[in-house]
Amino acid sequence: MKLVSACLAGINCRWNGKAKPCQKVIELVRQGKAIPVCPEQLGGLTTPREASEQRGDKVFTKEGKDLTHPFEKGAEEGLKIAKLANCNEAILKANSQSCGSSKVFDGTFSGNLAEGDGVFAKLLKKNNIKVVSEE
């Protein structure tokens, strides 16, 4: 079983209230081989919500509001789902401050990327769940 970012499965859960459908991910869910999860919604954030980016180990909105706690809470809830369903691999949305793996936005809200993992991707990797992006 795989865990997948819900926005890749066509769920309108992104900060702007939209999805980023990926046909391969949608097929996996249709076949019962993947479970869609949005860690930001699981952390209690609204949809739509303010855009946010990581700075160090924390997450802030552009206006400087610290959203680290809901991001970490949502990652923990997502991990629970991964464990419940025995997921050993995750396909997560590239570049996201939650789901991005290897590269994330650099915290300047300028569209630039930096090396690093999103909050959810980092936690899954720490728990030996392989993370790849849809790319």
Q: Which residues are near ligand SF4 by CB under 6 A?
A: 5-7, 13-14, 38-40, 93, 96, 98-99
- Please state, in angstroms and as integers, the Cα–Cα distance from residue 14 to each residue in 37, 56, 127, 129, following that order: 12, 22, 25, 23
Residue closer to ligand SF4 (CB basis): 7 or 67 = 7
Least Å distance between CB 126 and ligand SF4?
17
Residue 14 near residue 58 (C-beta atoms within 8 A): no
Phi and psi (nearest 5°) for 21? -60, 135
Q: How far is the CB of 59 from ligand SF4 (least distance, A)?
A: 11
- Give dist(CA 77, CA 33) in Å, integer: 20
Name the maximum alpha-carbon separation found in the chain.
41
Considering beta carbons, is residue 7 or 123 the nearer one to ligand SF4?
7
At closest approach, how far in Å is the CB of 128 from ligand SF4?
Answer: 20
| Pick 54 or 98: Cβ nearer ligand SF4 | 98
